[in-house]
Amino acid sequence: MGNTPKATAESDMRYFITGTAGFIGFHVARRLLQDGHEVVGFDGMTPYYSLRLKEARVAALVQFPRFQAVTAMLEDKAALEDAVRKFQPDVIVHLAAQAGVRYSLENPKAYLDSNLTGSWNILEIARELQVGHLMLASTSSVYGANAVVPFRETDKTDEPLTFYAASKKSMEVMAHSYAHLYKVPTTAFRFFTVYGPWGRPDMALFKFVKAMLDGDEIEIYGEGKMSRDFTYIDDLVDSIIDLSAISPAEANRAAGDIDSLSPQGPFRVVNIGGGQPVGLLDFVETIEAIMGKPARRKMLPMQKGDVPRTFASPDLLVALTGRKPSIELREGVRAFVDWYVSHRGEIE
């Protein structure tokens, strides 16, 4: 399947998406709505960061007549089940989660509640309704401090460095058991440092641009020696929608030994990353060049739980969909800066 043409989602599908007030969920929902699909968005509107930003995202989505918003927590199984049963989706895209690597050191229970209990509720409902395709958002953090690069889906992921990573790995393992037992086609995709307009305020690009505009220092951890495989949000959305049309079935197995398709059930994990890591100092210099001003840098040691690098192998993604994330960092950073400058008054 190395030359498989890019898959496309069928027209007029019904997508149930958790986390539509969040960064990634918002973008996925908006693209699907623009393409003519019907979307129910489920979000708890938690105050982990600015509710103004979340409300602005939802306000943009409700402009579409084929969008419906449901506000409730993932842990509320009755509310979740009621929303899914009423909608009868073709695809569930589970993007809601307690995000943030560092916050998991302060409030691990939030990750237990959302990423484990909430994800189990999703699995139960997908089992009960026999949903056509269940899609789950995981993270590159499950690779921990892997010494071998690039990170491949078939690598061991048994040494997470944070409870956030452990919660996401646990979700993958739970989902595999459900795929085996109940035959629900399930794809888990691992994100690699997603960035772009409407992003989260706790992420590096958002924090750096805000600090530079305010004349404040930016905090650079690991003395700037870390590197990340940055993924622009539009590339990520393309990949999620492409994968939604590819059932994790033996008939869709990629050639060679790169496929993570389980022999025990319709379950697959897929990296969504371009395989082009960028050094943190190069990232800062890109921001400086676009903003036309130097950053005031505060160099700090590596924080507990941080990994030295992330580096995706995109081989399986390309084999399945025919493409990989390719938007250049400079282009993506410029799009974020333009968005932030024009929307700052609405979201802070």
- Per-residue DSSP letter, 224: G
Domain boundaries along the sequence of the chain: 14-195+231-273+312-325
Collapsing DSSP states into helix, strand and coil, what is residue 116?
Answer: helix
Helical residues (DSSP H) of the chain, grouped into ranges:
23-34, 51-61, 77-87, 103-106, 108-111, 119-129, 163-182, 204-214, 233-244, 280-291, 315-321, 329-347
**Out of 164, 178, 195, 340, which one is annotated catalytic?**
164
Collapsing DSSP states into helix, strand and coil, what is residue 19?
Answer: coil
Mutual angle of helices 119-129 and 77-87, in 10-degree steps: 40
Compute the distance between CA of residue 333 and CA of residue 287 in angstroms, rounded to an integer: 7
Collapsing DSSP states into helix, strand and coil, what is residue 255?
Answer: coil
- Could you please state the CATH topology (level 3) that the domain comprising 14-195+231-273+312-325 is classified under: Rossmann fold (3.40.50)
Global confidence as pTM:
0.95
- Token pair listed for 169: 């790995």
Q: Phi then psi for 263, rounded to 5 degrees? A: -75, -5
Token pair 């398709």 is at which residue? 261
The answer to whether 164 is a known catalytic residue is yes
Per the DSSP assignment, residues forming a β-bridge with 187 are: 135, 268
Burial of 276 (0-12, 13-18, 19+ CB in 10 A): middle
Compute the distance between CA of residue 89 and CA of residue 83 in angstroms, rounded to an integer: 10
Compute the distance between CA of residue 320 and CA of residue 3 in angstroms, rounded to an integer: 9
Cβ 120 vs Cβ 128: under 8 Å: no
Task: Note the pLDDT tens digit of each residue in 241-260.
Answer: 999 999 999 999 999 999 99
C-alpha distances (whole Å) from 173 to each of 28, 133, 167, 187, 300 are 24, 17, 10, 12, 35
Residue-level pLDDT, tens digit, the chain, 348 residues: 333 334 455 668 999 999 999 999 999 999 999 999 999 999 999 988 889 999 999 999 999 999 999 999 999 999 999 999 999 999 999 999 877 666 677 778 888 888 999 999 999 999 999 999 999 999 999 999 999 999 999 999 999 999 999 999 999 999 999 999 999 999 999 999 999 999 999 999 999 999 999 999 999 999 899 999 999 999 999 999 999 999 999 999 999 999 999 999 999 999 999 999 999 999 999 999 999 999 999 999 998 888 999 999 999 999 999 999 999 999 999 999 999 999 998 888
- Per-residue DSSP letter, 302: P
**Of 239, 267, 271, 237, nearest in space to 252 by CA:** 267
